[in-house]
Amino acid sequence: MAQQVATVPDNVPPDLVVDFDFFSLADKAEDIQTAWAELHKGPDIVWTPHYGGYWIATRAADIDVMQLDYEHFSHNEFDIPLNPGRVKSIPLSMDPPEHTPYRKLLMTAFTPQKVRGYSDVARDTAKALVAALKPRGECEFIDEFAKVLPINVFLSMMGLPLADREWLLPRAEIAVRSADIELKNRNQQELAGYLMRHIQLRQATPTEDLLSSIVHGEIEGRKLSPFEIMGMSLLVLVGGLDTVASQIGFVAQFLARHPGHRHELVDNPKLIQVACEEFLRRYGLPNTARELTMDYEYKGLHFKKGDMIQMPKCLYGLDDRINEKPFDVDFHRKPSQIKHAAFGAGPHICPGNVLARRELIIFLEEWLPEIPDFEIDPERPTVYAAGSVNGVEKLYLRWKV
């Protein structure tokens, strides 16, 4: 599908226009985040004509304001390019106060007790994967480890069959990385059809999983409508299938290239928790946007109602105004000095952020003691994926047995 390139509107100063296509960044630098950071060489807020035309906030200070000011910067639309035919993502497409009761329902899946149970699944999965891969001396890390670990956790959380993993994964990829609206809508219909079968099973026989909690959930004393059940289920499905796998992929490719950092974590596992935050800062994933609810003047710019503004989280963590030497991964930064927006902020902060951190830590705790020395296979280059979520598609690792 040909993308829509917009004419520059009257409210956009010509000196803020950039020819920037974030779907094309996969081969532009050593990693996607570095390619994004080229925007830091220009104005704090820019406008690109790609995908219908939209603004990009490149600095942490502005992203902070926009994440919290939902009265002007609404989460009603958060994806670029805009997709008017999509099923509304609940509660992500809502702003407070409408958003709040739906979020409370989702948070019942992330109590400390439940997160401990999911962490046990993650650790058991990691141990089994490492034991199987170690004797081989090589692997394609993304398909054979990075995707398997969090998806086993997620499918267990949702009460969905682990055997469905191979069918679900490519559809999650389309959902977060395709710019083709027609393809995304067909893909969403397929995912909705898949979920509907399981929703109907839960309606007939309630179980102790997140999908059942959504199906039988109540909002302010009433049952959820079929539309609300599907909107919440689709959001959780797509969100749970990709992001942690992408984060683990970026961490593994960094450690494969930097033996000094790798040995630091092997020799001093107490650094792993700080390392987790540092990796979340250096390798930000989501590139979500907000929609202007009204004409609004901000820092001398004249936003128009309906304008979209993108807030790439990798640009937040790589902002040298808040993080010293932002491209350096330093496990000795004080936690208070590691500033990132990996999980968003304010009312829309990712409800699964505690579990996501646990899965990343578990990967490091289980992989490094068993396979401490590994490198990228020079014959098979790493393949990156650009889109609404930055990712690593292929990462070929090797080690001595």
What are the tens digits of pLDDT across the range 216-249?
A: 999 989 999 999 999 999 888 887 778 899 999 9
Q: Which residues contact 36 (CB under 8 A, 6 or more apart)?
A: 22, 25, 312, 314, 315, 318, 390
Nearest to 45 by CA among 13, 71, 72: 13
Q: Give the C-alpha separation, 235 to 395, whole Å.
A: 27
Give the mean pLDDT of 336-346: 92
Q: Range with the lowest mean pLDDT among 89-103, 230-244, 255-269?
A: 230-244
pLDDT band at 1 (very low <50, low <70, confident <90, very high): very low
* Number of domain units in the chain: 1
In which domain, by residue range, is 358 found? 14-398
pLDDT score for 117: 93
Does the pLDDT at position 312 exceed 70?
A: yes
Q: Check which CATH number belongs to the domain holding 72 and give it.
A: 1.10.630.10
Give the mean pLDDT of 35-48: 97
Residue 266: how many other CB atoms lie within 10 Å: 17
Residue 313: how many other CB atoms lie within 10 Å: 28
Give the mean pLDDT of 245-264: 97
What is the reported pTM?
0.94
Collapsing DSSP states into helix, strand and coil, what is residue 70?
Answer: coil
The residue ranking higher by pLDDT, 298 or 385, is 298
Kindly report the average pLDDT of the chain as a whole number.
Answer: 93
Give the mean pLDDT of 61-69: 96
Residue 360 in any domain: the answer is yes
Q: Give the C-alpha separation, 356 to 86, whole Å.
A: 26
DSSP assignment letter at 143: I
What are the tens digits of pLDDT across the range 104-141?
A: 999 988 899 999 999 999 999 999 999 999 999 999 99
Residue 3 in any domain: the answer is no
Number of H helices, E strands in the chain: 14, 14
Does the pLDDT at position 194 exceed 70?
A: yes
**DSSP sequence for 213-234:** HHHT-EETTEEPPHHHHHHHHH
**Count of residues in the chain:** 401
Q: Give the C-alpha separation, 238 to 229, whole Å.
A: 14
Lookup result for tokens 């907000």 = 290
Residue 153 in any domain: the answer is yes
Residue 85 in any domain: the answer is yes
Enclosing H/E stretch for 54: strand 54-57
Residue 261 in any domain: the answer is yes
Contact 309, 55 (CB under 8 A): yes
Contact 67, 311 (CB under 8 A): yes
Contact 37, 318 (CB under 8 A): yes
Cross-strand pairs, 376 = 397
Residue 7 in any domain: the answer is no
Residue 44: how many other CB atoms lie within 10 Å: 17
Residue 8 in any domain: the answer is no
| 54: phi then psi, degrees, rounded to nearest 5 | -165, 160
Contact 350, 288 (CB under 8 A): no
Residue 2 in any domain: the answer is no
pLDDT band at 2 (very low <50, low <70, confident <90, very high): low
pLDDT score for 345: 86
